[in-house]
Amino acid sequence: MIARRTRVLLLLLGVTAALTAAGVAAGEALGRLAEARAEAGRLEARLGRLREEVARAAGAAAERDAIRAEVEARAARRYAAGTMNPYAFATLAKTRLSSLGVTVLRYQVVESGTHPGVDVAATGRVRSFVEFLRWSSEDGKLWIVPSLEIEVHPADGSVDARLRIGYAADDGAGR
């Protein structure tokens, strides 16, 4: 009977030890599961921040590309270095004014300042001057008209004009 009691007690002790070991293992597994869930939450938050950064970077890249395209478009409107000089520009402006029926009375090349060009004194019809200004705006190249003085003669419908016409040229450094 003692032997049987000992066996039962040993069996109960073994079952208790096994249940305790299983409980400890389950507790450790639950701890690891909680840590894994917390790590997954941190990784999800980090992934969200990375997605936002990628979206901002893509937006910045698109903005950079738009700015680059604008700079290139503006540079294309300038005369390339060495392709235009004040004397050739004066001839071009005088020829264009004359082709529109404007009589150029006087012109003088201006080489000083940031935009070289020509001072012109001319007479003609208002429509011819308007056409010249429209043409110079739509030419594809950047023409600058910083000053324009007009004196209208109502008796014959003519206009005396004094204007300064300049052009934008690339200085060889892309400016």
Across the chain, mean pLDDT equals 85
Look up the pTM and report it. Answer: 0.57
* Residue 9 within any structural domain of the chain: yes
* Residue 50 within any structural domain of the chain: yes
- Please tell me whether residues 107 and 67 are part of one structural domain: no
The sheet carrying 117-125 orders its strands as 103-110, 117-125, 158-167, 143-153
Residue closest to 93 by CA, chosen among 74, 116, 70: 116
- Please tell me whether residues 63 and 92 are part of one structural domain: no
Last residue in a domain, options 76, 110, 135: 76
Question: How many structural domains comprise the chain?
Answer: 2
> Residue 80: is its pLDDT beyond 80?
no
Residue 51 DSSP SS3: helix
What size, in residues, is the chain?
175
List pLDDT tens digits, range 89-103: 889 899 999 999 999
For range 108-126, the mean pLDDT: 85
Sign of CA dihedral 23, 28, 34, 36: negative
pLDDT of residue 113: 65
Domain span at residue 6 reads 1-76
The C-alpha angle with vertex 129 and arms to 125 and 133, in degrees rounded to 5, equals 165
d(CA 100, CA 22): 102
List pLDDT tens digits, range 52-63: 888 888 888 888
